[in-house]
Amino acid sequence: MAVVRERRHLNLRLPIPELSDRRPRFPLPLPPTAAATTTTSSATISAGDLEKLQVLGHGNGGTVYKVRHKRTGAFYALKVVHGESETDVRRQVRREMEILRRTDSPHVVRCDGTFEKPSGDIAILMEYMNVGTLESLLKTHGTFSEPKLADVARQVLNGLNYLHGHKIIHRDIKPSNLLVNDKMEVKIADFGVSKIMCRTLDPCNSYVGTCAYMSPERFDPDRYGGNYDGYAGDIWSLGLTLLELYLGHFPFLPPGQRPDWATLMCAICFGDPPSLPEHASEEFRSFIQCCLQKESSKRWTVAQLLTHPFVCKDPR
């Protein structure tokens, strides 16, 4: 098993691989919003049009502000990475820019422009998700009911279906990277460690992302990898995310326990996958089981999960 070197609480991130200079072989068509004439494009919104209102979040990759367009009054989220930031952080934000500028899905956060200042500051302008993240919702409103989780699962699966269909692996699905607005729309965000697969058999670097949500094959590809291509890792992280939102705590640890890196890695690699208590419905327990198969080849794909009764049956 490979030894992992860096650590940090549940948000632990691992070294970022070199960002390939190669352009993807199959570039995605630019979304309609990227045309220079639209009101939301970077060509029509300049950094000077925006007024910073408050900090929405600090992350590994910079600071996210709520901003207002001075003329239109519209709100946006602006992710800023400062010029003096470490190379890895700048590389992450460029990777995120590259992916967000090419995606166009109602289940992926919309990019409304990107900026680079002579000072070296880099910024991504995004749609503002006014309710926050699934992590903040869990903290403020408590655990999620099954019907709500079925809705969350359906939306995230649709987002992953779009991404995987365009050969993009997110690699950092977790409650704090899933944004919510007041229509209860859930959108995938934070593509700092995502990867565009250039070739079908392109190996997917294992050691990026937030380790707590990483799948067993990313720690130990020989044992759990099968024909490992990376896509199944997003499914594992989705399963853990849904379980956490139901239980109210990170599933591999008892409530309130501070995560210890070694315990966590051993639990993921050597322990049984976490499961739902018996009072949960059969459909939900089966869905979680399909996501949390330790062997990546046994895990259901996005397309298969979209047909699972947990997400298919009529909302109750």
Using CB under 6 A as the binding criterion, the count of chain residues that bind ligand ATP stands at 23
Burial class (CB in 10 A: 0-12, 13-18, 19+), 193: buried
Is there binding between residue 190 and Mg ion (CB under 5 A)?
yes
Quote the Cα angle for 214-219-225, to 5°: 95
Task: Write down the catalytic residue from 112, 172, 190, 229.
Answer: 172
Selected binder of ligand ATP within 126, 168, 267, 305 (CB under 6 A): 126
Is there binding between residue 163 and ligand ATP (CB under 6 A)?
no
Say which residue the tokens 């593509």 belong to: 191
Strands (E), 70-175: 75-81, 111-116, 122-127, 132-133, 168-169
Whichever of 174 and 299 has its CB closer to ligand ATP, that residue is: 174
Is there binding between residue 175 and Mg ion (CB under 5 A)?
no
The DSSP bridge partners found for residue 68 are 51, 75
Q: Which span sits near ligand ATP by CB under 6 A: 184-192, 212-220, 232-240, 290-298?
A: 184-192
Is there binding between residue 228 and ligand ATP (CB under 6 A)?
no
| Cα 230 versus chain centre, distance | 14
Q: Which residues contact 118 (CB under 8 A, 6 or more apart)?
A: none
Quote the Cα angle for 48-49-54, to 5°: 90
Q: Which of 193, 185, 194, 197 is nearest to 156 (CA)?
A: 185
Is there binding between residue 143 and ligand ATP (CB under 6 A)?
no
Q: Which span sits near Mg ion by CB under 5 A: 118-126, 134-142, 183-191, 238-246?
A: 183-191
x/- string (CB under 6 A) for ligand ATP, residues 37-76?
-------------------xx-xxxx-x------------
Residue 49 bears catalytic tag: no
Residues that bind ligand ATP (CB under 6 A): 11, 56-57, 59-62, 64, 77, 79, 109, 126-129, 132-133, 176-177, 179, 189-190, 192
